[in-house]
Chains A and B, each alone.
Chain A
């Protein structure tokens, strides 16, 4: 079977920490995707993180939320998106592209994205994901501080629950059951 399918499976395992019954036979593993010594099927979760991994995750946690907040700020100024006619959409797109705040937001998101791609070139998603759960709290905090958004206590509790949930999903060992 082609490894495209296994790549999808592997990605879902890493991102959502779910486990697939059955495993590709040794011969079907692609060496580039699955380097020697690295089991595609649920890796051990306790390997030490490099300094560069920490640094890039830090950049992700700062620049991802900052980008979102800047986009929010820019879009509030641009105004509500309206899809009534083609000229209107073009006009809107023009206003979006003229906004300095939106470009700053795009810059932040590109920084986030670059850090994310770099970290994914060596680290498993299962390392990166629990750490990035903090981003949900950071985005609420920045929106409150920079945009004066009213974050009700109920919403804060909700955001904290989301962080905890992402942490629980990420911090469980990728496999707790035996494959058949």
Chain B
């Protein structure tokens, strides 16, 4: 049961965190200059966007859940199982946002789920 909560946190908080961070990066705008000084100059701008902090908090939660799982489970088991987020995303998109999910995309999601099922079945 606790293990299940950790998986849900990795998938849920991880995805929500990505969403916030993606949003803050879009607000910062395209990074065009790759000199180290210019990259460092981006950091304060990124940190000024509140979405960054919300995103980092959520991603931190997902990170500690991952640590907790990795203390007992194999890496080659935990990480593939988190790919279930694609299934959660497609279902969430369809039922919460009223999105249309095409058959090809369902096929992709089904492949991911079948893969996760095999990863779980092949727990040797």
Using a CB–CB cutoff of 8 Å, the interface residues on chain A facing chain B are 7-9, 11-13, 15-21, 32-33, 52, 65, 68-69, 71-72, 75-76, 78-81, 83, 96, 102, 109, 117-118, 120-122, 125, 136, 139-140, 142-144, 147, 149-170, 172, 176-177
The A-contacting residues of B in range 96-124, CB under 8 angstroms, are: 97-102, 104-105, 107-124
* Chain A residues, Cβ within 8 Å of B113: 165
**Looking at the complex, which one of B26, B28, B34, B94 makes contact with A52 (CB distance below 8 Å)?**
B34
* Chain A residues, Cβ within 8 Å of B67: 71, 75, 81, 96, 102
**Known contacts A69-B75, A158-B119, then 11 further A-B pairs from the complex at CB < 8 Å, ordered by chain A residue:** A18-B89, A18-B97, A32-B27, A117-B46, A125-B22, A143-B74, A143-B76, A165-B108, A165-B109, A169-B90, A177-B102
Chain B min CB distance to A153 (Å): 7
Which 10 A-B pairs give the minimum distances between C-beta atoms? Answer: A154-B122, A158-B118, A165-B111, A161-B115, A168-B108, A165-B112, A169-B108, A155-B122, A162-B115, A72-B75
> Given A121-B30, A168-B108, does the pair A68, B99 have CB atoms closer than 8 Å?
no
Using a CB–CB cutoff of 8 Å, the interface residues on chain B facing chain A are 2, 15, 18-19, 21-23, 25-32, 34, 39, 46, 63, 66-68, 70-72, 74-80, 83, 86, 89-90, 92-94, 97-102, 104-105, 107-124
Q: Which residue of B lies closest to A22 (CB)?
A: B98
Report whether B99 and A19 are in contact in the complex, using a CB–CB cutoff of 8 Å.
yes
Query: How far does the alpha carbon of A147 sit from the alpha carbon of B25 in the complex, in Å?
Result: 35
Q: Which residue of B lies closest to A55 (CB)?
A: B34
Chain A min CB distance to B98 (Å): 6
Chain A min CB distance to B80 (Å): 5
Report whether A159 and B108 are in contact in the complex, using a CB–CB cutoff of 8 Å.
no
Report whether A18 and B94 are in contact in the complex, using a CB–CB cutoff of 8 Å.
yes
Q: Which residue of B lies closest to A139 (CB)?
A: B79
Report whether A140 and B94 are in contact in the complex, using a CB–CB cutoff of 8 Å.
no
Report whether B21 and A117 are in contact in the complex, using a CB–CB cutoff of 8 Å.
yes
Chain A min CB distance to B3 (Å): 11
Q: Which residue of B lies closest to A16 (CB)?
A: B89
Report whether B98 and A149 are in contact in the complex, using a CB–CB cutoff of 8 Å.
no
* Chain A residues, Cβ within 8 Å of B19: 8, 11
Q: Which residue of B lies closest to A82 (CB)?
A: B71
Report whether B23 and A7 are in contact in the complex, using a CB–CB cutoff of 8 Å.
yes
Report whether A160 and B115 are in contact in the complex, using a CB–CB cutoff of 8 Å.
yes
Report whether B114 and A136 are in contact in the complex, using a CB–CB cutoff of 8 Å.
no
Report whether B115 and A159 are in contact in the complex, using a CB–CB cutoff of 8 Å.
yes
Q: Which residue of B lies closest to A11 (CB)?
A: B19
**Looking at the complex, which one of A79, A140, A157, A165 makes contact with B110 (CB distance below 8 Å)?**
A165
**Looking at the complex, which one of B28, B94, B100, B118 makes contact with A157 (CB distance below 8 Å)?**
B118
> Given A154-B121, A169-B105, does the pair A75, B70 have CB atoms closer than 8 Å?
yes
Report whether A12 and B76 are in contact in the complex, using a CB–CB cutoff of 8 Å.
no
